[in-house]
Amino acid sequence: MGDSSQAPIYLVGAVGVPNYGDELIMGLWLRFLALTQPRCPVWVDGIDAGVAATLLNDLHPRVRVASTLWQTAARVAEAELVTQELLADRFVRHRGTPRADAGLDVVARAHRIHLVGGGYVNSLWETNTLLPVLAAKVNAAFGVPLAATGLGLTPLTRVLAKRVGRALADFEVAESRDENLSEELAASGVKAGFDDAFLGFHPRLAALTANRRPDPPPRYMLLLQGDLVPDHQRSQFLALALAELRRAGWTTEPLGVVEALPPDDAWVRGELEKAGIGHVFFSFLDLWRNGLPFADDQYWVSSRFHFHLLAAGAGISGTAISVSSDYYAPKHRSLTSLGTGWRVVDLDGVEMAAAQPEATAAFPQLCRDIATRKWALAEQLYPSRWQRWLWLGRKGLAPLLGRYRKRQLVPQSAVAAPPTER
């Protein structure tokens, strides 16, 4: 398995921005493969290969990072919509991008192309819907197996849903984290599942997010995204968040401010300083290096989906603020439907889900149960060496072993005696 010509596992995700949720998901898959496939080469295909490499290179002994499919998707998207799939097929089969051609050679000999989880394939970023299309073209041209796990596929226009559905129909595994799948996706065989971040609740992967700081974090925590929220709504956004913290018992003590997407999410700091509110800042890099600043008695207000999931998975109560009805509302709703017990409000403060503290208390066990299921799916996609031997033993070696045992059981008297010496 150390042969450099060995077919690589090829992981695709929205890494390299960076955004904590997307980096975490890729990091979890790399750690899983480091535990189960440490000698297998792994390629990560992300938005910015340089940024992704600096964050992910230590998570698997044979990982390499590229931006091949992301660059090719951007190149294809320059064409008219009706010709894009034909152009994608041409690039995959005959190259001509030309900047991504060397990378497409790597993709063509992959052991598997795997679109890992995250909410990056949807109508908000139309170009990204070409990622499953390119993967399907590689499958058609070279027979490379495909998988998609934990994808967020909302929102999708009908035209793009048909495009994505056609592509995902060629995937061996096509799993979406979405609660309600469109007719086009369901007809293509896409199955409802769970976000890939649930892998992080498995005991063999929990160290990636564990808090490694010597000092306890603040009791009241704030994560308000800086992207996808118009500037003119930021004052309203912050006022609503502070009202939710006061509702939970906060008065004047310093807050914890978390940055998941740098530097966008740091906007809150300046506003708090203007208001004379003290805070402790947890940058993206601090989160990546030192884990998540969770504590049992905390209360979180977060607009970001993955921190809603991860904090609730630690048994922490909170409020999720949905900043959009078409993208974030379905994401937060999917978590409250699972049982996070968090209160959810929109930007106007209208309650979308009521707090359920008893559900929050039970949610960590559910997360561990889902993690076990996600681990089983991961093993199905990437069986370890002993699992392959076990399969071979059941399917191929058992008859041979049976014949060998029969020979060993032949009575000694039936074995011809060696000739005597003359």
For residues 186 and 232, membership in a common domain is answered with no
- The answer to whether the CB of 50 falls within 8 A of the CB of 70 is no
For residues 37 and 109, membership in a common domain is answered with yes
Domain end (from 350, 365, 380):
365
CATH number at residue 273: 3.40.50
For residues 350 and 237, membership in a common domain is answered with yes
Asked whether residue 413 carries a pLDDT value surpassing 80, the answer given is no
Domain that holds residue 227: 214-365
Query: pLDDT of 359-407, one tens digit each?
Result: 999 999 999 999 999 999 999 999 986 565 554 455 555 554 454 444 4
Query: pLDDT of 299-345, one tens digit each?
Result: 999 999 999 999 999 999 999 999 999 999 999 999 999 999 999 99
Cα within 13 Å of Cα(111), Cβ side? 16
d(CA 17, CA 143) in angstroms, rounded, equals: 31
Count the domains in the chain.
2
* 147 domain-assigned: yes
For residues 70 and 138, membership in a common domain is answered with yes
Taking the CB of residue 313, how many other CB atoms lie within 10 A of it? Answer: 25
Domain end (from 365, 383, 417):
365
Sign of the Cα torsion 272, 274, 275, 280 reads positive
Query: pLDDT of 62-98, one tens digit each?
Result: 999 999 999 999 999 999 999 999 999 999 999 999 9
For residues 48 and 104, membership in a common domain is answered with yes
For residues 235 and 181, membership in a common domain is answered with no
CB burial of residue 291 (10 Å; 0-12, 13-18, 19+): middle
Query: pLDDT of 11-68, one tens digit each?
Result: 999 999 999 999 999 999 999 999 999 999 999 999 999 999 999 999 999 999 999 9
Domain end (from 365, 384, 408):
365
Q: What percent of the chain lies above the pLDDT cut of 90?
A: 89
* 317 domain-assigned: yes
d(CA 404, CA 408) in angstroms, rounded, equals: 6
